[in-house]
Amino acid sequence: MEDAKGIDDALSDQAIEWVVRIHSGHATQADREAFANWRCENPLNEAAAREAETIWQGIGVAGKEVRGTERRNTRAKVTRRAFIGAASVGLIGSGLVETGFLRLNFLTDYVTGIGERKTIVLADGSTVLMNARSALSARFDANRRQISLFEGQATFTVAHDRARPFLVTAASGQTKAVGTVFDIDMRPDEVAVTVLEGSVSVATEATSDGPMPINVNQRVRYSDDGVILATEEVDADIETAWRRGKLVFNGRRLAEVIAEVERYRRGKIVLMGSSLQQLPVTGVFDMADSESVLTTIRQTLPVRITELPLVTIIRPA
C-alpha cells in the first residue's frame, strides 16, 4: 500500500465518497471508469482509495446496509461520518461488530460480551475466569474433561482429578493439566499459554516431538497453525493483570494491543498499513478506561488517530 502520510481529511472524504458510490448497488459503468481515472490521476488518490476500501472491508460493510441510507439521502454529500454511519446500520442492530462473534453466542456454552468478565464453575469444581469477548464450551465424561476455547482469553483453576485430565483446545493446540492454574490468550495469529501455578503440557498439530512441559512463570506461544513460536520466562502475575482489571503492556506489538483494547470498547479499530503492526506499546492501564490506551498511542507513537462512530482509524503520522 502507498504511504498514507500525505492523505488529508479532504482527500480521504473524496475517496470514501467514491467507494460508497461504487458499492452502493447503483454505480454505472461510467462511474466505475471515472473512479479508475481518478485513482490514476495521483499516487495519493490511489493510496486514499485503497485506504477507503480497507476501512470498508474492515468494518464488514454489505452493500444493502448503505443502499437504504443512500435512498434517504440521495443528494447528500457522503462524508466520512456518513460513510461510517451507513456502514453501522446492521452492526448497531445486532449489538455486535463481528457477525462471527454473534454466532458464537449460539454455538458455545459460555460467552462474555464487550468489557465483561465472568467466573464460571464447571461440573468438576474447576473454575474459569473469562476475559471480555471470550467464548468456550465444556464437555465432561468419565475419562476426560474437555474445554474448547473459541475466542478470547481465560484463566483456568483446575480441580485435581488424576483419572480425568483437563484438556483445553485453542486453535490448533491443546493444553493438558491435572491440577494447576494457567491462562490461555487467543491473540491475533497466535495463542499464548501462561502457567501461574503447577505445570501443564502443550501439544500442537504442527509439532512431532510430543507434548511440551510448561512450568510456573513460563509461557509458550504458538501460531494458529500450530508452529511453536517461543517458550519464555515471564512474570505470570503481570502477564495476567487483566484478572485484576489492569492492562500491562511491555513493548507489546501495536496489533496485539489493539486486539486487546477491542475487548473492552465498542467498535472496530483499523490499522492502516502493515508497518504499524510492529510498533511497540508500553504502559499500565485501567481496563475500565480503554480510551487511555489510545491516548498513549497517539502521544508516543508516530501515528494519527481519527475516531468516528463505531470505527477508529490509525494511520502513519
Predicted local distance difference test score (pLDDT) of residue 6: 66
Residues 231 and 271 in one domain: no
Evaluate whether residue 268 is within a structural domain.
yes
- What is the Cα–Cα distance from 172 to 128, expressed in whole angstroms? 21
Number of neighbouring beta carbons within 10 Å of residue 64: 10
Looking at 70, 94, 118, the residue that finishes a domain is: 94
- The boundaries of the domain holding residue 290 are 245-316
Looking at 240, 264, 286, the residue that finishes a domain is: 240
296, three cell numbers: 498513549
Residues 236 and 249 in one domain: no
Number of neighbouring beta carbons within 10 Å of residue 142: 6
Evaluate whether residue 285 is within a structural domain.
yes
Evaluate whether residue 105 is within a structural domain.
yes
| Single pTM value for the model | 0.74
Q: Report the alpha-carbon angle 288-265-72, nearest 5.
A: 145
Evaluate whether residue 1 is within a structural domain.
no
Evaluate whether residue 2 is within a structural domain.
no
Residues 26 and 70 in one domain: yes
Residues 86 and 118 in one domain: no
Number of neighbouring beta carbons within 10 Å of residue 67: 16
Total domains in the chain come to 3
Q: What DSSP element (H or E) covers 190?
A: strand 190-197
179, three cell numbers: 491440577
Exposure string over 225-240, b if 16+ CB within 10 A, otherwise e: ebebeeeeeeebeebb
Are 219 and 187 within 8 A, CB to CB? no
Whichever domain contains 137, its CATH number is 2.60.120.1440
- What is the Cα–Cα distance from 287 to 284, expressed in whole angstroms? 10
pLDDT (tens place) for every residue of the chain, 317 residues total: 444 556 776 787 788 778 877 876 778 899 899 999 999 999 999 988 888 887 777 555 433 333 333 333 333 444 554 455 544 443 433 333 454 555 566 678 999 999 999 999 999 999 999 999 999 999 999 999 999 999 999 999 999 999 999 999 999 999 999 889 999 999 988 999 999 999 999 999 998 888 999 999 999 999 999 999 999 999 999 999 999 999 999 999 999 999 999 999 988 888 877 889 999 999 999 999 999 999 999 999 999 888 876 778 888 88
Looking at 53, 70, 94, the residue that finishes a domain is: 94
